[in-house]
């Protein structure tokens, strides 16, 4: 039975799903050294933001097939190393959107009305109404940095509260911003015009330290900043200095450069700074959502099914995947086939989508073709996650072409591998029942289903050659399941494709190449 380690607190709903297919060990708050010590025996790891899934953890996890992040941000996981190791990383892109957006609004209003300090004063049996005169958000400018899922929901709520919305997000269209009632502006304008600024970006090299002393200097003394996205996007010392100096009005933070927050200048700044301990996703509803979402994906991957929100399998979203699954199988089979025909070191793969297939996304088919191509060399170490990287590292150039014109079949896929031993090509199609047919080899028309053991010859079309090959195989006790010859002109060049019931014994191939008229022969094992 597969083993799953859950190393952060997750909702029981997730544990229940995982338990259907695996032994689940629930060990929240595991120290790094213990995690490294026990990870070798696990097939899957499920975390939230608490566990740092470092290169050391991933390298130690020799059996790991999937790392699940019950939430959005995967910045606590070394995704490039996981990808390199062929480990799928999944998250829950939408499970906590509402929770994080509502926490943002709660932080903005709490800051404006000094609710935490006002509460504390009443708890302390004071009745100080003068100290807690706040500000309204109505008709104020809210600058949203990052107009993705959470930023968009914040925009919708803020709009309903009568705020005026500015947004900065270089990857969002004007139309989308318009729909959300946001004016897209550059960062400097957002900094200088906003009364409230809220951050909803991932932590990347571009967003790290985005709000530094220079940015803070551009803001109004009445500006209040909310950060429920990621620590490190705001420079905490610069922020504390700006609040202390009164060059901005205040800040409400849920996330920090280092968590848990250690010694910090952000503490003790009175009602103008509110700090929560990374609570954005901490609602009952969000925790059920993310735990269910990610546990289902871990379960599926352990059962050999695809994940719907893999962050390191480009272009394979669930609907695409479902629709393309038979074509991915076709691409993988053809990749495997052409890789074996080409042999040697391959430096280029051309992937050609013909007919109806030309309207499909090519990237998943390219990845599947590469997976097939590399499977002889890498066996089970190559998968959809690392096929592109492995190919790139081996210097395999990929060329994609599309041709919507329809020939003999409504849609076909052709792969041509170019390598140290020459170039070979195969074309295949899917029949009505999703059965794979190889329809050409090196440009010669054939019509054969792929089989476990195959023999291909390139030869001169001449009388007697088929009989000779048949007898030769018979003399080695190899049974032929089917045989096909493809040629373009009578007595010209031709290919022969044989499906065999048995693997070819050593030495037979060289005997075959000695037969008169045979130019080359290749065995293929699929």
Ligand X SMILES: NC(=O)C1=CN([C@@H]2O[C@H](COP(=O)(O)OP(=O)(O)OC[C@H]3O[C@@H](n4cnc5c(N)ncnc54)[C@H](O)[C@@H]3O)[C@@H](O)[C@H]2O)C=CC1
Strand order in the sheet with 493-500: 480-487, 493-500, 453-460, 518-525
Binding at 508: pick from ligand X, ligand HPV, none (beta carbon under 5-8 Å per type): none
Which two tokens mark 333? 């089979």
Interface characters, 9-48, with ligand HPV (x: CB under 6 A): ---------------------------------------x
Closest CB 446 distance from ligand X, rounded Å:
47
Q: Where are the alpha helices (DSSP H) in 343-386?
A: 362-378
- From 230, 299, 418, 424, the catalytic residue: 230
Of 109-117, 148-156, 377-385, 487-495: span binding ligand X (CB under 6 A): 148-156
Q: Which is nearer to ligand X, 151 or 355 (CB)?
A: 151
**Which residues within the stretch 229-288 sit at the binding site for ligand HPV (CB under 6 A)?**
278, 280-282
Closest CB 8 distance from ligand X, rounded Å:
13
Tell me the three-class secondary structure of 437-481, residue by residue: EEEEECCEEEEECCCCEEEEEEEECCCCHHHHHHHHHHHCCCCEE
**Which residues within the stretch 60-79 sit at the binding site for ligand HPV (CB under 6 A)?**
70-73
CA atoms within 13 A on the CB side of 464: 3
Candidate list 22, 35, 107, 147; residue touching ligand X; CB under 6 A? 147
CA angle 307–313–317, rounded 5-degree value: 55
Does 73 participate in binding ligand X (rule CB under 6 A)?
Answer: yes
Of 23-31, 140-148, 256-264, 461-469: span binding ligand X (CB under 6 A): 140-148
Closest CB 479 distance from ligand X, rounded Å:
56
Task: Kindly give the pairing relationship between strand 453-460 and strand 444-448.
Answer: unpaired
Binding at 48: pick from ligand HPV, ligand X, none (beta carbon under 5-8 Å per type): ligand HPV
- From 63, 259, 322, 393, the catalytic residue: 259
CA angle 165–170–174, rounded 5-degree value: 55
CA distances from 419 to 347, 393, 458, 519, 523 (A): 5, 15, 18, 18, 17
CA distances from 17 to 21, 22, 206, 305, 461 (A): 8, 9, 37, 15, 60
Of 111-119, 133-141, 169-177, 425-433: span binding ligand X (CB under 6 A): 169-177
Candidate list 7, 51, 96, 442; residue touching ligand HPV; CB under 6 A? 96
Closest CB 70 distance from ligand HPV, rounded Å:
6
278 in catalytic set? yes
Whether 57 and 33 have beta carbons less than 8 Å apart is answered as no
Determine the Cα–Cα distance for residues 276 and 255; give it in Å rounded to an integer. Answer: 8
Closest CB 74 distance from ligand X, rounded Å:
8
Gyration radius from the chain CA atoms: 30
Of 92-100, 297-305, 384-392, 518-526: span binding ligand X (CB under 6 A): 92-100
Binding at 229: pick from ligand X, ligand HPV, none (beta carbon under 5-8 Å per type): ligand X
Does 52 participate in binding ligand X (rule CB under 6 A)?
Answer: no
Determine the Cα–Cα distance for residues 253 and 278; give it in Å rounded to an integer. Answer: 8
Question: Residue holding tokens 């440009």?
Answer: 443
Determine the Cα–Cα distance for residues 399 and 418; give it in Å rounded to an integer. Answer: 11
Picking from 382, 357, 354, the residue whose alpha carbon sits closest to that of residue 83 is 382
Interface characters, 202-241, with ligand X (x: CB under 6 A): x-x-xx--------------------xxx-----------
Q: Which residue has the closest beta carbon to ligand X? A: 148
3 state SS of 191? helix
**Which residues within the stretch 171-200 sit at the binding site for ligand X (CB under 6 A)?**
171-172, 200
487 in catalytic set? no
- From 278, 299, 418, 424, the catalytic residue: 278
Whether 226 and 104 have beta carbons less than 8 Å apart is answered as yes
230 in catalytic set? yes
Tell me whether the omega of the peptide bond preceding residue 260 falls within 30 degrees of 0, making it cis. yes
Residues at the contact surface with ligand X, assessed by CB under 6 A: 71-73, 96-97, 100, 145-151, 168-172, 200-202, 204, 206-207, 228-230, 254-255, 278, 280-281
Residues at the contact surface with ligand HPV, assessed by CB under 6 A: 48-50, 70-73, 96, 278, 280-282
Active site residues: 230, 259, 278
């Amino acid at each position: 039975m597969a083993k799953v380690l859950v190393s952060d607190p997750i909702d029981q709903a997730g544990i229940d799903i995982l338990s259907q297919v695996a032994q689940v060990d629930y060990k929240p708050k595991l120290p790094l050294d213990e995690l490294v010590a026990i990870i070798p025996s696990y097939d899957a790891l499920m975390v939230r933001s608490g566990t740092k899934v470092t290169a050391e953890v991933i390298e130690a996890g020799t059996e790991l097939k999937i790392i699940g992040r019950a939430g959005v941000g995967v910045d606590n996981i070394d995704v490039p190393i996981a990808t390199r190791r062929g480990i799928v990383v999944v998250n829950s892109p939408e499970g906590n959107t509402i929770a994080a957006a509502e926490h943002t609004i709660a932080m903005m209003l709490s800051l404006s009305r000094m609710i935490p300090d006002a509460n504390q004063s009443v708890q302390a049996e004071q009745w100080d109404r003068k100290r807690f005169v706040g500000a309204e958000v109505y008709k104020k400018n809210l600058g949203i940095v990052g107009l993705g899922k959470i930023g968009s929901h914040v925009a919708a709520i803020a709009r309903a509260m009568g705020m005026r919305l500015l947004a900065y997000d270089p990857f969002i269209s004007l139309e989308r911003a318009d729909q959300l009632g946001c004016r897209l502006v550059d960062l400097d304008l957002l900094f200088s015009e906003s009364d409230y600024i809220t951050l909803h970006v991932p932590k990347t090299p571009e967003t790290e330290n985005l709000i530094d002393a220079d940015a803070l200097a551009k803001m109004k003394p009445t500006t209040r900043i909310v950060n429920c996205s990621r620590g490190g996007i705001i420079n905490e010392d610069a922020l504390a200095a700006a609040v202390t100096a009164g060059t901005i009005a205040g800040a409400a933070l849920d996330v920090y450069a280092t968590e848990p927050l250690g010694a910090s200048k952000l503490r003790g700044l009175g009602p103008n700074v509110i700090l929560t301990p990374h609570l954005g996703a901490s609602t009952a509803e969000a925790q059920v959502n993310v735990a269910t979402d990610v546990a289902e994906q871990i379960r599926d991957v352990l059962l050999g099914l695809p994940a719907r929100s893999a962050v390191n399998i480009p272009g394979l979203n669930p609907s695409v995947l479902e629709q393309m699954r038979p074509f991915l199988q076709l691409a993988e089979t053809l990749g495997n086939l052409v890789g074996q025909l080409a042999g040697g070191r391959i430096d280029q793969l051309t992937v050609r989508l013909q007919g109806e297939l030309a309207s499909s996304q090519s990237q998943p088919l390219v990845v599947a073709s590469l997976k097939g191509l590399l499977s002889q060399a890498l066996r089970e170490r190559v998968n959809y996650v690392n096929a592109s990287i492995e190919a790139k590292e081996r210097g395999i150039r990929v060329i994609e072409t599309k041709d919507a014109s329809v020939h003999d079949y409504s849609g076909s896929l052709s792969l041509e591998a170019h390598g140290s031993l020459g170039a070979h090509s195969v074309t295949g199609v899917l029949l009505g029942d999703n059965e794979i047919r190889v329809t050409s080899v090196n440009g010669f028309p054939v019509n054969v289903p792929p089989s476990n053991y195959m023999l291909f010859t390139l030869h001169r079309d001449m009388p007697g050659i088929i009989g000779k090959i048949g007898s030769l195989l018979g003399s080695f006790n190899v049974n032929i399941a089917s045989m096909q010859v493809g040629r373009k002109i009578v007595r010209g060049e031709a290919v022969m494709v044989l499906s065999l019931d048995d693997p070819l014994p050593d030495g037979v191939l060289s005997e075959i190449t000695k037969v008169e008229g045979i130019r080359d022969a290749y065995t293929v094992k699929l």
